[in-house]
Structure 1
């Protein structure tokens, strides 16, 4: 169980770093992203381990990845919001 928890936290941190690298301009502070990835993966591993029982390391890690990705996706801000040039609205009055 300890190794599953450690591996899931490391997976969550890796996913958070990847998300921060790819979508850094659309995410909040890096510390929040890292904490969310690690906590989400740990929670996913706990829930999956509780449902399946011991001896299912790969499915537990899969559950950790799924929950971490789901929680990280909730942090992503929409692209182009508030940018009047992209939305087609003119800033200048005619």
Structure 2
């Protein structure tokens, strides 16, 4: 159980770092992204561990990665676009 929790925290931090590196302009501040990825991974590990039971470390880490990715995807803002209005408006 300790390895699952530690692995999921490290996985959440790695996914948060990768998301910030790739989508820095579309994500909020780092102080929001890192906890969201970490807590998402911990919740995913808890959820997967509860569903499968102990002894399924790879599946638990996969569930942690999936839920962390979903939590991070909820933070992504749309690209800023200028609204073009016609002259008649």
Residue 80 of structure 1: how far off its partner (Å): 2.3
Q: Which residue of 2 aligns with 1:7?
A: 7
In the TM superposition, what are the counterparts of 1:15-30 in structure 2 within 5 Å?
Answer: 15-30=15-30
Tell me how far apart the structure 1 counterparts of residues 29 and 79 of structure 2 sit (CA, whole Å): 17
Report the 3-state secondary structure (helix = DSSP H, G, I; strand = E; otherwise coil) of the residue aligned with 1:76.
coil
Distance 2:85 2:23 in 1: 28
Q: How far is 1:90 from its partner?
A: 4.5
RMSD: 1.4
| Residues 46-77 of structure 1: per-residue CA shift (max 9 Å, x gap) | 00000000100000000000000001000000
Structure 1, gaps ≥5 residues long: none
Runs of 4 or more above 2 Å deviation: none
TM-score of the pair, normalised by structure 1: 0.88
Provide the residue aligned with 2:34 in structure 1.
Answer: 34
TM-score, normalised with respect to structure 2:
0.92
User: Which residue in 1 is equivalent to 2:74?
Assistant: 74
Residue 31 of structure 1, CA deviation: 1.0
d(CA) in 1 for partners of 2:30, 2:38: 12
